[in-house]
Amino acid sequence: MPAALSGSHHRTDGRGAHHAGQRDRQAETVAPISPSARARSSSGAGSPNSHWRIYRRRVPSGRLSVSESRSNPRTRIEEGKPVAIKLPQSAKKVLQDKAYGHVVTFNADGKPQLTMVWLDADGDEVLFNTAEGRLKPKNLRRDPRVMISVQDRNDPQAYMLLHGKASVTEAGADQHIDKLAKRFLGVDKYPFRQPGEKRLLVRTKVDRIGGYGPKMQPWT
């Protein structure tokens, strides 16, 4: 597999590769246009498709309104901070298959660092495995923000973009990499371990899901 690319060369996890990051967007709100604007539209002064207008605004105190939070379960914000959401079953199904994903962490200079990883899910957390001394755990200990993209291998038009915060732990990392080796390589033990290598398990609590599921529908 190709090696991961970043500001500096480093080894990949499971297998390697990369992906670009993007900034979080503010909450979007849709509102009907005013009667005067509708009149201008009907007279030809406005856009022919201006029955609705979309504008961006930051909800006071950063929270989604009750109507917004109920209608958009893919994003939750409380007191101005994103909070973890429950992963849809359709998303878990993809993550627990042979899910090759691209992970974005952030270097100290703010530039994105990108790597291809083997993905997994445990409850509502997204998991991947790495090793001590690599750039991902170093970045995540300093800045836990992470973005993960993954395609449904059975439907390549379906993809997820997962935003969240990650934690790094040694607990269960050795067993987890062997589990992934069985899934992805068909072997009982991960064959690429180096002498003295310390495996690490990265757990991500997702606060936003983007992309489209099968048949271009939201992930539900």
Q: Residue type for 42, please?
A: S
Q: What pTM was estimated for this model as a whole?
A: 0.65
The string of pLDDT tens digits covering residues 160-196 is: 999 999 999 999 999 999 999 999 999 999 999 999 9
**Percentage, residues of the chain above pLDDT 70:** 63
Q: Which amino acid type is present at position 35?
A: P
**What pLDDT score does 73 carry?**
47
Same structural domain for residues 57 and 139?
Answer: no
Q: pLDDT at residue 154 above 60?
A: yes
Same-domain check for residues 39 and 64? yes
Whether residue 184 sits in one domain with residue 99: yes
Q: Which segments of 75-213 are extended strands (E)?
A: 77-78, 81-82, 100-106, 112-118, 120-122, 125-131, 145-152, 155-169, 199-212
Residues 120 and 146 in one domain: yes
pLDDT tens, residue by residue, 69-95: 333 445 555 555 678 999 999 999 999
More confident residue, 27 or 116: 116
Q: Check residue 42 and give its pLDDT.
A: 46
77 and 90, same domain (yes or no): no
pLDDT of residue 14: 53
Last residue of a domain, one of 63, 81, 99: 81
Confidence check: pLDDT of 52 > 50: no
Q: What is the pLDDT of residues 12-43, one digit of tens each?
A: 455 444 444 444 444 343 444 444 444 444 44
Region 51-57: mean pLDDT is: 35
Residues 128, 149 within the same domain? yes
What is the layout of strands, in order, in the sheet containing 112-118? 112-118, 100-106, 145-152, 155-169, 199-212, 125-131, 120-122
Q: Determine what percent of the chain is predicted with pLDDT higher than 90.
A: 58
CATH code, domain with 147: 2.30.110.10
Within a domain: residue 102? yes
- Averaged pLDDT score across all residues of the chain: 76
59-68 residue pLDDT tens? 444 443 333 3
Q: Are residues 146 and 191 in the same domain?
A: yes
The answer to whether residues 12 and 1 touch, using CB atoms and an 8 Å cutoff, is yes
Domain co-membership, 60 together with 39: yes
Determine how many CB atoms are found less than 10 A away from the CB of residue 203: 19
- Could you give the number of structural domains in the chain? 2
- What pLDDT does 32 receive? 47
In a domain, 11, yes or no: no
pLDDT at 156: 87
* Predicted pLDDT of residue 75: 54
Note whether 157 and 186 are same-domain residues: yes
Residue 119 — very low, low, confident or very high, per pLDDT cuts 50/70/90? very high
Residues 167, 210, single domain; the answer is: yes
Q: Which domain holds residue 197?
A: 83-216
Cα separation of 103 and 117, whole Å? 7
Q: Specify the pLDDT at position 78.
A: 55
